[in-house]
Chains A and B, each alone.
Chain A
Amino acid sequence: MILVKTRNLLKCYPMGLRKLTALKDINLEFQRGEFCGLIGPSGSGKTTLLNIIGSLDVPSQGSVTVLDKKIEELSHVEAARLRRNHIGFIFQTYNLLLLYTAYENVEFPLLLIEMPEAKRKKKVMDALDWLGIADKADSRPAQLSGGESQRVAVARAIVKLPQLVLADEPTANLDAENSFNILEMMVKLNREINTTFIFATHDEKVIRYLRRKIHLVDGQVVKDEIVNQERGNPCRH
């Protein structure tokens, strides 16, 4: 089942009197359950593509279809609904809501979909427990380490069991040990609930885990490779 499809995607940004082309002629398809990554140096268009797939931005030309919805045709409200119900985001800098506890951060996406309190509570605790940070439920982000913060961010992204998780440089601020733990959990999630993961990364630690690597250079796809590897612990091999 195709989850995401881009056709002749072009994205330009105005830069003074000229236009900067961030993405050009992108034609990609992502199947349900993929664990893939957009790989490339800074400025290659990874985050821009991730933002468009996540309906945070719109293409200048071409078409992007996510879960049968054309991103370029969505209103603000429809785009928000798509994100709210089907997409989870993980960011390089965690982007937790600093005033809220780990529990409340994870609870927030469920509040948006108006899940009943009892069910919400169970889901949040399950997610925290699954990521091994149930004991940090009452801690605020300032009281958490980088690894713990990113686990909360992952819990927040997956608590509503989205069909698609978009992760932008999720391990860039983590040490090897924490990167390993986070990636292992993502792999587990992908395997157990068949969530599609699309990463934007140039971190070797992440790249080793990917089963599909899409190489971007100057806004264009230069290589799209399927990697046959055993899931496990590539970092420890």
Chain B
Amino acid sequence: MIRFLLKGLIRDRSRSLSPVLIVAAGAFLCVFLYGWIKGAMDDLISSTARFDTGHVKIMTRAYNNLSDQMPNDLALLGVGKLMDDLRASEKGITWMPRIRFGGLLDIPDEKGETREQAPVAGLAVDLLGPDSPEPEILNLKNALVRGKLFQKAGDILISEAFAHRLGVKIGETATLIGSTMNGGLAMHNFTVAGTVRFGIAALDRGAVIADIEDVRFALDMADGAGEIVGYSKEMHYDNNAMTALTKQFNKRFEQDKDEFAPIMLSLVDQYGLREYLDLANTFGAIIVTIFVMAMSIVLWNSGLMNGLRRYGEIGVRLALGEPKGTIYRRMILESIITGFIGSLLGTLAGLAITYYLQYVGIDFGNLMQKSTILMSNVIRTRVTGWSYVIGFIPGLGASVIGTMFAGIGIYRRQTSQLFKELEA
């Protein structure tokens, strides 16, 4: 009997191929949209963490209060010892000192006179240390456009767009004019080693990357750092773990009233990211839920129509003596088969394109030229555990429920009424 019914299912494309294709399309869209929203959210977190907040960040309390002004006069001192303590106590975290600095970048001509000059935002990181993970965290190798990465002390990397604007060439000198930690005038010559493009509009407009020892020297910040950032070894932000770490660290300095005492913040504690991420997560969840529900309604309706369309056939089967319950169960079995196959195909297709775009991404650089958000121009999707199941909610669930509702008509109608519909 099952073989007999499967024959009918396979022969009737409107009952097999069409539902499978509709379900597959719905499941595909759900998987892809979920992956897209998840990817965009994670990308924002990842970019922000890599270039700014870390998974956790340690600053002085005073620096934290004015952190958007990069107040290096309020920076941490005794960083070497603090780093040793952190590395000893928190082995699962990679710790790195950083200095953010601002000033003017002056490009002199052959006579030493200013040829071009522009305000600059700089980031000093450990680039020359033998085991420094910073080049990898900042993805410098892939970001390099021209020239070379750091070779020696005094080298500097400059964003490609900024280099173009200043007309600076590889190997030329660039002078940083700023203020020291103590408020004095700082002037330091760097050599442009290469140009980089991070694919993040906020950085590509006018950023420089320098080695932290050079900047410490230039800004008179011996054994100092504006901030110490920490990353989990897996480079995956785990909010619960980082919140626990933050609480534990801050408890040690609870009694210390000094404004230069260190304070640790997790990623979501900075720049109002908690609220932003909560909001974005909520919106993301709402969008995905609405979409999943919309697809569910479409597929439910498809299941319903498919069931209603078959009242005639059902009338014949009833007349020939097939019990209502058997017909109902077989209709549901059919919708489970088509729903499962469709969901599986849609999920596989969705996962394939989501995986592909997780690595390749889509470049929205032209739309983000004035963006100040630390978000990659290339938005990538992300596959999570949910990606494997989310397509089955509308694909399998809704189409089966639709068929179940359509099938209720079998019970509610008199058999003869189904028959009249058949004859009509």
Contacts and interface: CB of A to CB of B under 8 A. Distances in A.
A91 B420 CA distance: 11
A104 B415 CA distance: 23
Contacts of A104: 4, 7
A126 B79 CA distance: 98
Contacts of A58: 414
A231 interface: no
B322 A76 contact: no
Contacts of B419: 51, 56
A113 B323 CA distance: 12
A97 B321 contact: no
Contacts of A87: 321
Nearest to B15: A99
A156 B11 CA distance: 21
Contacts of A93: 423
16 contacts: A48-B416, A56-B414, A80-B318, A80-B321, A81-B323, A83-B320, A83-B321, A89-B320, A95-B319, A96-B316, A97-B8, A107-B4, A112-B322, A113-B321, A114-B1, A156-B320
Nearest to B326: A80
Contacts of A92: 423
B324 interface: yes
A107 B313 CA distance: 16
B11 A112 contact: no
Given A56-B416, A100-B7, A112 B320 contact: yes
B321 A84 contact: yes
Interface residues of A, number: 35
A12 interface: no
Contacts of B12: 99
A37 interface: no
A8 interface: no
A73 to B, nearest CB: 16
A51 B416 contact: yes
Interface in B1-55: 1, 4, 7-8, 11-12
Interface string A210-235: 00000000000000000000000000
B422 interface: yes
Contacts of B416: 48, 51, 56-57
B6 to A, nearest CB: 11
A2 interface: no
B325 interface: yes
B129 to A, nearest CB: 73
Interface in A85-136: 85, 87, 89, 91-93, 95-97, 99-100, 104, 107-109, 111-114
B320 A56 contact: no
B8 A100 contact: yes
A170 interface: no
Interface in A34-83: 48, 51, 54-58, 76-77, 79-83
Contacts of B423: 91-93, 95
Contacts of A81: 321, 323
Given A48-B416, A80-B318, A82-B321, 19 more contacts: A56-B416, A57-B415, A58-B414, A76-B323, A76-B325, A80-B321, A80-B324, A83-B318, A84-B320, A89-B319, A89-B320, A95-B319, A97-B316, A99-B7, A99-B11, A107-B4, A108-B320, A109-B321, A114-B1
Nearest to A85: B321
A171 to B, nearest CB: 16
Interface in B244-274: none
A177 B293 CA distance: 58
A77 B323 contact: yes
B279 to A, nearest CB: 53
Interface of B: 1, 4, 7-8, 11-12, 312-313, 315-325, 414-416, 419, 422-423
Contacts of A156: 320
Interface of A: 48, 51, 54-58, 76-77, 79-85, 87, 89, 91-93, 95-97, 99-100, 104, 107-109, 111-114, 156
Interface centre among B4, B7, B319, B325 (most CB of A within 10 A): B319
A48 to B, nearest CB: 8
B38 to A, nearest CB: 43
A5 B416 CA distance: 20
A169 to B, nearest CB: 10
The 3 closest A-B pairs by CB, nearest first: A84-B321, A57-B416, A83-B321
Contact of A76 (B7, B8, B315, B324): B324
A166 to B, nearest CB: 9
A89 B422 CA distance: 14
A83 B7 CA distance: 24
A84 B414 contact: no
B323 A108 contact: no
A111 B317 CA distance: 12
B306 to A, nearest CB: 14
Contacts of A100: 4, 7-8, 11
A57 B414 contact: yes
B415 A108 contact: no
B323 A99 contact: no
A113 B326 CA distance: 13
A112 B324 contact: no
Given A56-B419, A76-B323, A111 B7 contact: no
Contacts of B1: 111-112, 114
A109 B11 CA distance: 20
Interface centre among A51, A54, A80, A81 (most CB of B within 10 A): A80
Contacts of B7: 99-100, 104
Contact of A84 (B11, B315, B322, B422): B322
A29 B416 CA distance: 22
Given A99-B11, A111-B1, A77 B325 contact: yes
A209 B323 CA distance: 34
A56 to B, nearest CB: 4
Nearest to B12: A99
Contacts of A57: 414-416
